Amino acid sequence: MSNPASPPAVGVVDDRPPLTFPPGFLWGAATAAYQIEGAAAEGGRTPSIWDTFSHTPGRVVEGHTGDVACDHYHRLGSDVALMAELGLKSYRFSVSWPRVQPGGTGPANAEGLDFYRRLVDELLGHGIEPWLTLYHWDLPQPLEDVGGWPARDTAARFADYATLVADALGDRVRYWTTLNEPWCSAFLGYGSGVHAPGRSDGADAVRAGHHLMLGHGLAVQALRAARPTAEVGVTVNLYPVTPASEAPADVDAARRIDGLANRFFLDPLLRGSYPADLMADLAKVTDFGHVRDGDLATISTPLDVVGVNYYSRHVVAAPDPDAEPEPYWRAPSCWPGSEDVRFVTRGVPVTDMNWEIDAPGLVETLRRVHEEYTDLPLYVTENGSAFVDEVVDGRVDDADRLAYFDAHLRAAHEAIEAGVPLRGYFAWSLMDNFEWAWGYTKRFGMVHVDYDTQVRIPKSSARWYAEVIRRNGLAAQ
Ligand code: IFM
């Protein structure tokens, strides 16, 4: 494969050295079930909250749904062959709960499990390590109908589901992630309501976050009981949170958002407690009466690995003292109790999601998790960017995305040199897919997908990444 030109821009002298990653570094790419599989009503699968949400007018841009998505359900063989061509060492995918346990309770659906068995066998046959995520946001709709994640019972249902999947696939899957980005499930799903199930209640969002973590802890125990040799972890999406100025009010705004975005999850999962300042911030939203004795011990059940998803940084400022009579923050918010904190843009380059590109933030994030929370092996389980792509003569030259990966891999290497036990990196995403409330309008893939024909075209970033994997590092520029 060719190694297309990498950043920086033409005319800029680049003396960056080649970088080599530690032996055995796990190079991968990630996807999620609802974003790629399609076959929404096939093989015994029943609706999840995302089927309901995406079929509700006005919820997803242009009314897009995951009904067909990338049709991966029917293209598993050729998709894995493509992964092998790119030289992936690992593939991180998620299991669709309503495909393997329709309705979210009761026995497993053999046809659903067979799909994942075939996927895993195909991966292993190509020497690609399967990395399985149990929950990437597709709660079976009947569980939402009886309360969803704000209801405590959902945590127990999740552990039952974990046992079904471990019994079926535990003999061939080594790496298990319980939840992907519980912040999104809780605060986008039940706070701002921009994600499924589209509910907007701060107290429900906080309860959902707690029960997601409780479900995680119970699932870790279930996985260990079913497969003592499994390597089990959780994936959190983390952001450095920077105050817009050194003014005490801005610094306090950063503390609050850091509490909700990062410490709400890191502290219970890795320290077995909620931060006192966060609980004080949330006092006007909830009395934490949903937390029962023993929950935090369950939530902090020891793990083998921690997954970090990193995309960008938050820069925040204190509430606007001149806010209008009907302040913007009356709208449903994903920051309960801190709705009035302002998110500031710095004018630095952004991706097509309007997210600031901030590679040093990855170093900061990984160092923080390692230095403040855990000695466990860390994996970047997602990192990537959406940009507008153009197919020209059958090629997609995605120089922006390639530069984003390059900068973040250099950051990952810097973190390793600073002592972080970073063991692997998964690009988000293997291929363009259903970007939740944005439907198919945002492209994160290293592989371009034509949604009319389902033709896949590896972009320049994919060819470049293949070369990175082959060298186990970055070439001198
Ligand atoms: O597409 C999502 C993914 O499902 C979870 N992490 C962030 C990605 C980009 O928004």
Cβ of 428 less than 6 Å from ligand 1: yes
Single-letter residue type at 415: A
Burial (CB count within 10 angstroms: exposed 0-12, middle 13-18, buried 19+), residue 450? exposed
What does the pLDDT average to over 185-189? 98
CA torsion 308-314-318-320 (nearest 10°) is -140
Task: Compute the mean pLDDT over every residue in the chain, rounded to the nearest whole number.
Answer: 95
Do 244 and 315 touch, CB atoms closer than 8 A?
Answer: yes
**429 Cα distance to chain centroid:** 10
Q: Give 289 Cα–ligand 1 centroid separation in angstroms.
A: 31
Q: How much of the chain exceeds pLDDT 70, in percent?
A: 95
Confidence at residue 16, expressed as pLDDT on a 0 to 100 scale: 67
The total number of structural domains in the chain stands at 1
Beta bridge partners of 30: 92, 428
Q: Is 432 in the pocket of ligand 1 (CB under 6 A)?
A: no
User: Is 76 contained in some domain?
Assistant: yes
Closest CA to 423 of 470, 368, 370, 349: 370
With 0-12 CB in 10 A as exposed, 13-18 as middle and 19+ as buried, what is 72? buried
- CATH value at residue 235: 3.20.20.80
The catalytically annotated residue of 181, 339, 364, 435 is 181
Residue 341 lies in a domain: yes
Strand-by-strand arrangement of the 241-243 sheet: 241-243, 314-317, 342-343
Share of the chain above pLDDT 90, in %: 93
| Confidence check: pLDDT of 8 > 70 | no
Domain that holds residue 249: 22-472
Contacts of 422 (CB under 8 A, 6+ apart): 366, 377, 378, 379, 380, 412, 415, 416
Are 274 and 268 spatial neighbours (Cβ–Cβ below 8 Å)?
Answer: yes
Check pocket membership of 438 for ligand 1, CB cut-off 6 A.
no
- Is residue 9, in this structure, part of any structural domain at all? no
pLDDT in tens, 34-60: 999 999 999 999 999 999 999 999 999
Q: Please measure the distance between the N-terminal and C-terminal CA atoms of the chain and give it in whole angstroms.
A: 17
Whether 339 is in a domain gets the answer yes
pLDDT of residue 15: 60
Determine the pLDDT at residue 17.
73
Residue 382 annotated as catalytic: yes
Question: What is the CB neighbour count within 10 angstroms for residue 5?
Answer: 14
pLDDT for 312-324, tens place per residue? 999 999 998 887 7
Residue 477 lies in a domain: no
Determine, yes or no, domain membership for 201. yes
Nearest atom in ligand 1 to 429's CA: 1
Would 8 be classed as within a structural domain? no
Query: Who contacts 12 (Cβ-Cβ below 8 Å, separation ≥6)?
Result: none
Q: Is 371 a catalytic residue?
A: no
Residue 72's pLDDT band (cuts 50, 70, 90): very high
CA of 435 to the centre of ligand 1 (A): 7
Q: Going by C-beta distance under 8 Å and a sequence separation of 6 or more, which residues neighbour residue 255?
A: 277
Distance 409 CA to ligand 1 centre (A): 18
Assigned domain for 7 exists? no
Distance 68 CA to ligand 1 centre (A): 18
Please tell me the pTM assigned to this model: 0.96
